[in-house]
Structure 1
Amino acid sequence: MTLSDHSGDAPRGSVAPGFEPVREVFHDVVTRQRGTGAAVAIWHDGRWVADLWGGWADAGRTRPWQRESIVMPYSVTKAFTAMAALVLVDRGLLDLDSAVQEHWSQLRTPATVRQLLSHQVGLVALADPAPPELLLDWDGLCSRLAGQEPLWTSGTAIGESALFYGHLVGELVRRVDGRPFGTFLRDEVCGPAALDFHIGLDDQAQARAVDLTEVDSLVAGLGGDDRPALLRQALLNPPGALDQDTVNSSAFRRAEVPAVNGHGTARAVAGLYAALLAGRVISPSLRDEAASAQAHGIDRVMGGPERAWGLGFGVDDEGFGMGGIGGSAGWASTRDEYAFAFVTGTMGDHDRSDAVETAFRDVLGLPPL
């Protein structure tokens, strides 16, 4: 290994005294990644106990991952998208049990705001093939979704709107507030909370963006025997979200696809959950409602096992959060009182984030995941 390779792979950042095992496991994760690097951040007991990054930021492995590098964590983005709507709920500008059609009259599908936020609306796949450019056309895709026949009656089943959640929630936010969704997120959520997370990158942010690598492996993983056929329809039409050239393009990064194409640091993702645990961004009462199960069952898009959806988060007895296809994750442990985020440029499974989080839990003497 050359000196430049070593300098790119070696993790940088800091861990609090006693948490050195987290650095060791993270180092192993980064050195095993064949493409671009990763970052991890953990907040516990009122402080950052781990803030690490390492590996490369570009597919050519010439640009090291820096402290301010930002990466697309796929569905981890959905938590930020939901937060924008929840801010409006907290301000009394949006009611969870009101009809989405009160604000978006063109929407053909009857649904409440609560059902929309908790993946109970059957707008998960387009009936007809769509061209790639539709993915980057906000108005065009929202119009298509508004006229789409749902696959089930809202409130009767759950299914993650893998590609369209951001347009459905984001258009609702835009119609209530008037600003483009990415602007609202910046001004009302991420900016006030000092979170380096963005949807719709300007030139300055694009210069910090990490290339995604091994993206083709994601498409291959959609066809397993345990995967519903609906998953391919939900993620591949319109095409582009699982195409490496597309997701690394300037046009895609500049567009707003708020189900998947947020870009941020691990500190930003963990920082959102740390802020929520501390009762910031939205009120504690609304946070508790968002982090409680609104619906549960077998997800018609993702398949089994049974899962529960809160208002923009997956929830269980330990906490709430969102994982992304490719291996990134953000999580708030309400039981053990910590916020965790792992973001990666090399697409793969979630074993890597689990290994790093387990090393942290071992330090605290907590049971394994």
Structure 2
Amino acid sequence: MTQEIHGTVADGFEAVREEFAAFVARERPDYEGQLCAYVHGRQVVDLWAGEGAAADSLYGVFSTTKGAAHLVVALLVQDGTLELDRKVTYYWPEFGAEGKGAVTLRDLLAHRAGVVGLDAGFGEEELADDRAIAERIADQRPFWRPGTAFGYHALVIGALTGEVVRRATGRTTQELFEERVRAPYGLDFHLGLPEALEPRFRSVLPMAPTPEQQAVLDATPTGPHTLGSIAFNDHVPDAGTLVDHANSRLVRAKGPTSAGGVAAARGIAGMYAAAVSGLDGRPPLLKPDTIAEVGQIHSVGHDLVSQGHRAFGLGFQATAAMAYPFLGAGAFGHSGAAGSQGFADPRSGLAYGYTRRRWAYPGGAAPENDRFVRAVHSAALAG
């Protein structure tokens, strides 16, 4: 039985609804997800599907959280509170231990610092606590000479940049995001989910690969001492999974800024619209020079953690170079492990958000985003 598609699209964006409906018809019967987009601050797509889902359902969005965290950093750089080419130790002296003294904030944001995790790993409660992560990482020896290469700091980057934020301002990234971004626009993107909103949270469902997909996963080389294992804390005996991480009330309450955010697609797309175009009559949060700085590619090529081709700006993924080459130069955002995606394409004015409940194969931005993004972008250019 084909699921009903809920929501609306603006004139000229009918092809997006068709693409979404076609995907839902092909997907597992238990599919649940949301798709939202703005163009120049105007909502043009607002769709959702799934039994029990609603427009304001909230999902664990994993690393899409990093986009929210680093929007705060971008605002502080724009304010002059933070300087990209200052050494991290200017703000946080303890970080300089074990050969990290020359690392700049720019290096850190571009995943070039080399401290992707801990030799000894983290406990589950520590991964919910940005302060605990930062305190322990400060004493960690880098896994490569800082600045010589890059690798995705998957579970720690938000804590590290967040400690710089805290030392410079006396406030946490979570507090500043709430004050400067989420609350003024009423966005359903939370770095720390209030207890009162828990009924709207939809727990993450684990991946359910086909036998053929499972065979590929089983054949993928892994090892307990690889950089990938360390970066994702998989080398810790009996470590919880990322699904467990998102489904933990402790994680949702504290909102760790690497992968602990909770959002609806409306909140993700609305955040990026507010950042580059403005919303509700307000001017854009970011000035053109800041938008260009954070979207400029700083690290591109072979990622030592993922062992694949990746491209990063400053705290954000370089979305066009990394995922959707038809987007404008300077597009920036961040995807999440279970399939979520969010970005801004400043040249077309497009702001995009996608969530889904069940973990998508093979991980990272769900494959259906390829078709959704292309459809939305084409309609935006034609408008």
Q: TM-score, length-normalised on structure 1? A: 0.86
Q: Match of 1:113?
A: 105
Q: Match of 1:49?
A: 44
Question: CA 1:230–1:299 in structure 2 vs 1: closer, same or farther (change >3 Å)?
Answer: same
Q: Pick from 328, 341, 356: which aligns with 1:329?
A: 341
Q: Match of 2:300?
A: 296
> What SS does the aligned partner of 1:192 have?
helix
> Residue 94 of structure 1 aligns to which amino acid in structure 2?
L
Q: Does 1:207 align with 2:199?
A: yes
Q: Match of 2:268?
A: 269
Q: Match of 1:310?
A: 313
Asked if the contact 1:115/1:155 (under 8 Å) is kept, the reply is yes
Q: Whole-Å Cα distance in 1 between the matches of residues 110 and 128 of structure 2?
A: 24
Q: Whole-Å Cα distance in 2 between the matches of residues 76 and 177 of structure 1?
A: 24
Q: Match of 1:155?
A: 147
Question: CA 1:337–1:300 in structure 2 vs 1: closer, same or farther (change >3 Å)?
Answer: same
Asked if the contact 2:87/2:104 (under 8 Å) is kept, the reply is yes
Q: Match of 1:242?
A: 241
Greater mean alpha carbon deviation, residues 27-36 or residues 349-358: 27-36
Q: Whole-Å Cα distance in 1 between the matches of residues 133 and 219 of structure 2?
A: 26
Q: Whole-Å Cα distance in 2 between the matches of residues 74 and 157 of structure 1?
A: 24
Q: Match of 1:253?
A: 252
Q: Deviations over 1:164-210 (max 9, x none)?
A: 01111112112222223322210122223442211111102222212
Question: CA 1:338–1:121 in structure 2 vs 1: closer, same or farther (change >3 Å)?
Answer: same
Asked if the contact 1:240/1:247 (under 8 Å) is kept, the reply is no
> Residue 68 of structure 2 aligns to which amino acid in structure 1?
F
> What SS does the aligned partner of 1:125 have?
coil
Q: Match of 2:11?
A: 17
Q: Whole-Å Cα distance in 1 between the matches of residues 19 and 183 of structure 2?
A: 32
> What SS does the aligned partner of 1:322 have?
strand
Q: Deviations over 1:52-72 (max 9, x none)?
A: 11214xxxxxxx111211212
Q: Give runs of ≥4 in structure 1 deviating > 6 Å.
A: 216-220
Q: Whole-Å Cα distance in 2 between the matches of residues 314 and 363 of structure 1?
A: 23
Q: Whole-Å Cα distance in 2 between the matches of residues 147 and 290 of structure 1?
A: 28
Greater mean alpha carbon deviation, residues 22-31 or residues 39-48: 22-31
Asked if the contact 1:321/1:330 (under 8 Å) is kept, the reply is yes
Alignment of 1:1-369 (within 5 A): 1=1, 9-31=3-25, 32-33=27-28, 35=30, 37-56=32-51, 64-107=52-95, 108=97, 109-110=100-101, 111-215=103-207, 221=217, 224-225=220-221, 229-237=226-234, 242-278=241-277, 280-305=284-309, 307-315=310-318, 316=321, 318=329, 319-349=331-361, 350-363=366-379
Q: Match of 1:61?
A: none
Instruction: Give the number of aligned pairs.
Output: 352
Q: Whole-Å Cα distance in 2 between the matches of residues 152 and 50 of structure 1?
A: 43
Q: Match of 1:60?
A: none
Question: CA 1:100–1:244 in structure 2 vs 1: closer, same or farther (change >3 Å)?
Answer: same
Asked if the contact 1:215/1:243 (under 8 Å) is kept, the reply is no
> Residue 63 of structure 2 aligns to which amino acid in structure 1?
S
Aligned identity (percent) is: 31
Q: Deviations over 1:282-340 (max 9, x none)?
A: 222111111111232211112222x3311112223642221222211112224433122
Q: Deviations over 1:212-252 (max 9, x none)?
A: 11258699959725999422221134676634344212122
Question: CA 1:336–1:54 in structure 2 vs 1: closer, same or farther (change >3 Å)?
Answer: same
> What SS does the aligned partner of 1:191 have?
helix
Asked if the contact 1:193/1:281 (under 8 Å) is kept, the reply is no
Structure 2: state its 5+ residue gaps. 278-282, 322-327
Q: Whole-Å Cα distance in 1 between the matches of residues 58 and 338 of structure 2?
A: 15
Asked if the contact 2:40/2:273 (under 8 Å) is kept, the reply is no
Q: Whole-Å Cα distance in 2 between the matches of residues 185 and 365 of structure 1?
A: 31
Q: Whole-Å Cα distance in 1 between the matches of residues 228 and 378 of structure 2?
A: 35
Asked if the contact 2:121/2:233 (under 8 Å) is kept, the reply is no
Asked if the contact 2:75/2:286 (under 8 Å) is kept, the reply is yes
Q: Match of 2:324?
A: none
> Residue 268 of structure 2 aligns to which amino acid in structure 1?
V
Q: Whole-Å Cα distance in 2 between the matches of residues 362 and 240 of structure 1?
A: 43
Q: Cα distance, 1:131 vs. partner?
A: 2.7
Asked if the contact 1:53/1:65 (under 8 Å) is kept, the reply is yes
Q: Whole-Å Cα distance in 2 between the matches of residues 351 and 68 of structure 1?
A: 23
> What SS does the aligned partner of 1:207 have?
helix
> What SS does the aligned partner of 2:308 have?
strand
Greater mean alpha carbon deviation, residues 294-303 or residues 334-343: 334-343
